[in-house]
Amino acid sequence: CGVFGIYAPEEDVAKLTYFGLYALQHRGQESAGIATFDGKQVHLHKEMGLVSQVFNESILQHLVGQLAVGHTRYSTTGSSRVVNAQPAVVATRLGSLALAHNGNLVNTEELRSELLRRDCNLITTTDSEMIAHAIALEINEGQDWLEGSIRAFHKCLGAFSLTIATPEGIMGVRDPNGIRPLVIGTFGSNPVRYVLASETCGLDIIGAEYLRDVEPGELVWITEEGLASFHWTQKPQRKLCIFEMIYFARPDSIMEGESLYTYRLRLGRRLAEEAPVEADIVIGVPDSGIPAAIGFSQESGIPYAEGLIKNRYVGRTFIQPTQKMREAGIRMKLNPLKDVLAGKRIVIVDDSIVRGTTSRKLVKALRDAGATEVHMRISSPPVTHPCFYGIDTDSQDQLIAATKSVEEIAKQIDVDSLAYLSWEGMLKATGEDPNSFCSACFTGDYPIPVPEMVKRSKLM
């Protein structure tokens, strides 16, 4: 999911949030929502669909106020329905709160029982709504916004990057491991105003300057007085999701002090060092495989070419294609360039293989287009384990590398050769302390303990 927040009484906060969400659309295409506060009054609009489908000028005009939060959703818990769209709005003794969540809690069963025991009325099925209710319960028992929220966060286990709007200000929060990203931006002067976004591309679009990340285990409270920081947990230890860097976040977002484009180029260069191959051209799988493909080309000296053209307008639509179209498969999204590919030995680079279904269809399309050899190179290690922290990499039985060796996968997707970047190589290219990243989907080494019952739902 994508989250956004802004405090700026002199601006059209709904419109700025709309643009912020537009830049964060890649983080979730199922539903979108914005909540604004004007004094104590909350204004909310959320619907299924893309940001551009959910909002128009007249809807935005009704979302008045001095502060706002917004959300783009893709579901990891709870079904894909409008009741599960965010922000989640809950009434409290001090007025409403509106919460936008990116991540996934692993102790929802425990949390749900506690909330029900304390007479809380849960309407939807998401972990995100539970966080909002947990805060409201504390507030209603006499706590203030900050103390109440912090008490609630202590009851949450898992990944949560949050933006929360209240009548008084907005909060930006990260779990003690900072699994999902969240950044702070500033704009204007006298007074300086603050913005929160999942990624820096959400700041760029509204002309805000990147200030810094919200730290793991930090809460920032942004009000008329400016920004105040609270370290709400004793033992923060950063475990940033490495899959954000490899695949999920936009290439123009800055993480670890550089664009993810530059980072992904380096993954591709290292891949070329680790797994060289003789070929005529290197192509990437649009969009996420392109930077690594360019890096592979730079390191290997094999020319880079565009071999697949992506239809930019294929999102998740509500009109399902016919069965016949589905069989035509990926052509709806990616179309091969026959005159580039015919008669060539091809290296095709992608960022990851999850189920292997896309890869198999792609390879077939390349062969149909006349490629004489197809060598696949993947700029991350085999995905062998499911994610419990908010990336939808499926249950373990769906992951092709969970049960098959690299040779077996090569056979199944019908390539002449297949190689993945090594785990060590990936971390070396990442250049930081390997302990500061989660890479559990490649290793099974989960940094936040996952309860047995939850594990059983996704592990073989």
Which residues are designated catalytic? 1
Q: How far is CA 82 from CA 32, 68, 89, 169, 367, in A?
A: 9, 20, 13, 26, 42
Interaction between residue 353 and ligand 5GP (CB under 6 A): yes
Contact flag: residue 359 with ligand 5GP (CB under 6 A): yes
Among residue numbers 408 through 437, which ones bind ligand SF4 (CB under 6 A)? Answer: none
Q: Which is nearer to ligand SF4, 165 or 391 (CB)?
A: 391
242 binds, among ligand 5GP, Mg ion, ligand SF4, none (CB under 5 to 8 A by kind): ligand SF4
Find which of Mg ion, ligand SF4, ligand 5GP, none residue 158 binds, CB within 5 to 8 Å per kind: none
In the bound complex, what is the minimum distance in angstroms from residue 388's beta carbon to ligand SF4?
7
Q: Which of 45, 89, 90, 49 is nearest to 72 (CA)?
A: 49
Taking Cα atoms as reference points, which of 293, 291, 272 lies closest to residue 425?
272
Q: Minimal distance in Å, beta carbon 401 to ligand SF4?
A: 13
Interaction of residue 177 with ligand SF4, rule CB under 6 A: no
* Closer by beta carbon to ligand SF4, 209 or else 397: 397
Question: Is residue 352 a contact residue for ligand 5GP (CB under 6 A)?
Answer: yes
Nearer to ligand SF4, 126 or 177 (CB): 177
Nearer to Mg ion, 288 or 297 (CB): 288
For residue 15, how far is the Cα from the chain centroid?
22
What the block records as the tokens of 371 is: 């490629």
Nearest distance from C-beta of residue 292 to Mg ion, angstroms: 10
Nearest approach, Cβ of 452 to ligand SF4 (angstroms)? Answer: 17
Question: Should residue 393 be labelled a site residue for ligand 5GP when binding is judged by CB under 6 A?
Answer: yes
Place of tokens 């003789």: 278
Residue 379 binding target from ligand SF4, Mg ion, ligand 5GP, none, CB below 5 to 8 Å by type: none
Residues with Cβ within 8 Å of 273's Cβ and at least 6 positions away in sequence, in order, are 299
Q: Which of 177, 358, 379, 430 binds ligand 5GP (CB under 6 A)?
A: 358
Max intra-chain CA distance, the chain:
73
Contact between 354 and ligand 5GP by CB under 6 A: the answer reads yes
Minimal distance, residue 438 CB to ligand SF4, in Å: 3
Which residues of this chain interact with Mg ion, rule CB under 5 A? 288
State the binding partner of 7 from ligand 5GP, Mg ion, ligand SF4, none, CB within 5 to 8 A by kind. Answer: none
User: Please, what is the minimum distance in Å from the beta carbon of residue 1 to ligand 5GP?
Assistant: 13
| Under rule CB under 6 A, residue 407 binds ligand 5GP | no
Choose the one of Mg ion, ligand 5GP, ligand SF4, none that binds residue 355, judging by a C-beta under 5 to 8 angstroms depending on kind. Answer: ligand 5GP
Distance CA 437, CA 178 (A): 9
Compute the distance between CA of residue 318 and CA of residue 49 in angstroms, rounded to an integer: 8
In this chain, which stretch among 132-140, 148-156, 366-374, 387-395 interacts with ligand SF4, using CB under 6 A? Answer: 387-395
Centroid of chain to Cα 346: 31
Question: Could you say whether residue 76 binds ligand 5GP (CB under 6 A)?
Answer: no
- Asked if 387 interacts with ligand SF4 (CB under 6 A), we say yes
Q: Map residues 243-272 to x or -, x wherever contact with ligand SF4 holds by CB under 6 A.
A: x-----------------------------
Q: Tell which one of 92, 102, 198, 288 touches ligand 5GP (CB under 6 A).
A: 288
Task: Tell me the number of residues near ligand SF4 by CB under 6 A.
Answer: 12
From the CB of 26, what's the least distance to Mg ion, in Å? 11
Q: Footprint of ligand SF4 on this chain (CB under 6 A)? A: 179, 241-243, 387, 389, 391, 393, 438-441
Q: Footprint of ligand 5GP on this chain (CB under 6 A)? A: 247, 285, 288-289, 350-359, 391-393
